[in-house]
Structure 1
Amino acid sequence: MLRYIAQRILAAIPVMGFVALFVFLLLRLSPGDPAAIIAGDAATPEQLEAIRERLGLNEPIYTQFFDWVSRLLQGDFGTSILSGTPVIDMIMGRLEPTVSLALTTIVLAILIAVPLGVIAAWKHGTLIDRLVMAISVLGFSVPVFVIAYVMIQVFAMNLKWLPVQGFKSIFDGVGPFAERIALPTLTLTLLYIALIARITRTSMLEVMGEDYVRTARAKGLREGRVLMRHALRNCAVPIVTVIGIGFALIISGVVVTESVFNLPGIGRLTVDAVLARDYPVIQAVILLASLVYVVINLLIDIAYVLLDPRIRYA
């Protein structure tokens, strides 16, 4: 297992290198000039040239790339072109809202979606099964921003139960934190409930007809124990896979939700950086998202061994 983990970590190095090269070239070769954004519309050509010289934008592309990579290897993600703040400080300052939203979303989605998928498989073909599948289709079909505005209209505008925007740290109190995170969490949870419930139902249906499930029922075991201990346990691998992928997607894809609910997280930081063509910030955020995918995929592979003893890694 340790050898496999070491191999996966080594294999991630060229992947991250390719991502870094792709992102760098994509940003540098796309239209737009950060110097013009910084200087404003009234800037003279001399002022624009001075800004480009100061930022190193006049250097050849390959020189800019190798300078950036060498700083990365030293733990330096660069400095924001617009604010002059170290990029790592900007990311760390925006990390808590995004991580909080991701964790609350995935935990709530698991607590709701897995039981729903199990019940749908158990009651296959009944009204309950069709209702769960209808919820899944609805969750996949409706855009996130539409769900967000419906949540705001119902729970904030009509019922006045929850605030619309903003974020409170959990260190400022669980109550204020829960009030602010509730609406964005519910918005994203509907999407991931649809995903996890559908995979859980499909996986459960595949194992419900297996011999070990029929044997467990023949022994007179309670239906709940048959479903949870024998059926669900043996179809846990695909469920864990989709949960892990879902968590990675949440971390890297909260742009719309954070924008709607005005959460000062990584998503908002990404939007602001893209609009301002702040190269160092964009590059760092994309590399961070790629690293999250690599780490989560590694954790999923390790979980396979714990869930299914038949799986072995050389």
Structure 2
Amino acid sequence: MLGYILRRILAVIPVMLLVAVFVFLLLRLTPGDPAAIIAGDMATPAQLERIREAMGLNQPLHIQFVTWVGQLLRGDLGVSLISNTPVATMVADRIGPTFSIAILTILMSVAMAVPMGVLAAWKHRSAADYAVMTFSVLGFSVPVFVIGYIFILIFSLQLGWFPVQGYTPIGSGVGAFLSNAFLPALTLSTIYIALIARMTRANMLEVLGEDYIRTARAKGAPERTVLFRHALKNAAVPILTVIGSGFALLIGGVVVTETVFNIPGIGRLTVDAILARDYPVIQAMILLTSFLYVLVNLLIDLSYSFFDPRIRY
């Protein structure tokens, strides 16, 4: 097991190195002069040269890369070209809301989607199965922002159960946090509930036809034990893949939801940085999203071995 873990961790290093090279070249090879962006259109050549020297842009590429990696290892993500604020500070201020909404979304999605998928597979070709499949189609078809506005109309404006917009940190109280975070998380979870439920149903249908399931039933095992202990455990590997990939995509893909519900997260920070061509912030967000995606996939790979020990070898 230790050897399997070490192999998976070592496999992450070249991936992150390639990502670092791509992000580094993004600033250097993209059309436009970062020094001109900082100094403005009226800058003189002497001013531009001083800015390039201060940023190290006049050095050879390999020297710039080594210097930049050294700064990353020290936690220095650079300074915003627009606000002159350290990028690490900007990310730290924005990552909390995004992480909180993403975690709540995944918890809600798994709690609802897995039982729905198991029920649909167990009651194959019944009304329950058709209902789950209909919801899955709708979850994939309706845009997230439309679902968000529908939830705001029903739960906020008509029923008055939740605020229309805003965000409250969990440190201010769980109740206040859930009051603001529930609707955004429910909005995001619709597509993931549809995806996870569909994947759970498909894999459960395959597993329920196996010989060991018939053997367990023949021995008199309760149906709940057959479904959750035998069938779901053996169908868990592809389901875990979808859940983990969904969480990684949530971190970088909550822009629409953060805009609809006015949540100050990293999705909106990324969009603002792209529109302003704030390269250090864009670099930091690509690095962060890539690192989280690789980390989540690493954790998924490691979790496989607990459900299927054959993967370790």
Same fold, judged at TM 0.5 (above): yes
1:112-150 CA-to-partner distances (Å, cap 9, x unmatched) read 000000000011111211111111111112222222222
Unpaired runs of 5+ residues, structure 2, are none
Bigger mean CA deviation after superposition, 187-196 or 278-287: 278-287
Residue correspondence of structure 1 range 113-132 to structure 2 within 5 A: 113-132=113-132
Instruction: Name the aligned partner's letter for residue 216 of structure 2.
Output: A
**Which residue is equivalent to 1:227?**
227
Q: Distance in 1 between matches of 2:40 and 2:150?
A: 38
**Which residue is equivalent to 1:240?**
240
Instruction: Name the aligned partner's letter for residue 276 of structure 2.
Output: A
**Which residue is equivalent to 2:76?**
76
Q: Distance in 2 between matches of 1:159 and 1:32?
A: 51
Q: Distance in 1 between matches of 2:44 and 2:156?
A: 48
Instruction: Name the aligned partner's letter for residue 249 of structure 1.
Output: L
**Which residue is equivalent to 2:7?**
7
Bigger mean CA deviation after superposition, 270-279 or 199-208: 270-279
Tell me if the contact between 1:237 and 1:307 (Cα under 8 Å) persists in the aligned partners: yes
The DSSP-based 3-state class of the residue aligned with 1:221 is coil
Q: Distance in 2 between matches of 1:231 and 1:5?
A: 26
When normalised by structure 1's length, the TM-score is 0.91
C-alpha spacing 1:199/1:14, structure 2 compared with 1 (3 Å) = same
Tell me if the contact between 2:35 and 2:52 (Cα under 8 Å) persists in the aligned partners: yes
Tell me if the contact between 2:108 and 2:189 (Cα under 8 Å) persists in the aligned partners: yes
C-alpha spacing 1:17/1:206, structure 2 compared with 1 (3 Å) = same
**Which residue is equivalent to 2:143?**
143
Q: Distance in 2 between matches of 1:37 and 1:156?
A: 42
**Aligned residues, how many?**
313
**Which residue is equivalent to 1:186?**
186
1:291 aligns to 2:291 (yes or no): yes
Tell me if the contact between 1:248 and 1:296 (Cα under 8 Å) persists in the aligned partners: yes
Q: Distance in 2 between matches of 1:149 and 1:264?
A: 18
Instruction: Name the aligned partner's letter for residue 72 of structure 1.
Output: L
**Which residue is equivalent to 1:202?**
202
When normalised by structure 2's length, the TM-score is 0.91
Q: Distance in 2 between matches of 1:178 and 1:158?
A: 19
**Which residue is equivalent to 2:26?**
26
C-alpha spacing 1:161/1:288, structure 2 compared with 1 (3 Å) = same
**Which residue is equivalent to 1:275?**
275
C-alpha spacing 1:26/1:143, structure 2 compared with 1 (3 Å) = farther
Tell me if the contact between 2:4 and 2:312 (Cα under 8 Å) persists in the aligned partners: no
Q: Name the % identity.
A: 65
1:7-63 CA-to-partner distances (Å, cap 9, x unmatched) read 222222221121122223234333445455545566666665655554444555554
Q: Distance in 2 between matches of 1:23 and 1:142?
A: 34
**Which residue is equivalent to 1:90?**
90
The DSSP-based 3-state class of the residue aligned with 1:311 is helix
Q: Distance in 1 between matches of 2:118 and 2:58?
A: 60
The DSSP-based 3-state class of the residue aligned with 1:135 is helix
CA-CA distance at 1:214 after TM superposition: 1.0
Tell me if the contact between 2:123 and 2:129 (Cα under 8 Å) persists in the aligned partners: yes
**Which residue is equivalent to 2:309?**
309
Tell me if the contact between 2:75 and 2:88 (Cα under 8 Å) persists in the aligned partners: no
C-alpha spacing 1:205/1:280, structure 2 compared with 1 (3 Å) = same
Instruction: Name the aligned partner's letter for residue 93 of structure 2.
Output: G
Tell me if the contact between 1:96 and 1:265 (Cα under 8 Å) persists in the aligned partners: yes
1:160 aligns to 2:157 (yes or no): no
Q: What's the RMSD between the two structures over aligned residues?
A: 2.2
Instruction: Name the aligned partner's letter for residue 81 of structure 2.
Output: I
**Which residue is equivalent to 2:252?**
252
Tell me if the contact between 2:121 and 2:202 (Cα under 8 Å) persists in the aligned partners: yes
Unpaired runs of 5+ residues, structure 1, are none
Q: Distance in 1 between matches of 2:56 and 2:198?
A: 50
Bigger mean CA deviation after superposition, 234-243 or 96-105: 234-243
Tell me if the contact between 1:37 and 1:276 (Cα under 8 Å) persists in the aligned partners: no
CA-CA distance at 1:84 after TM superposition: 2.3
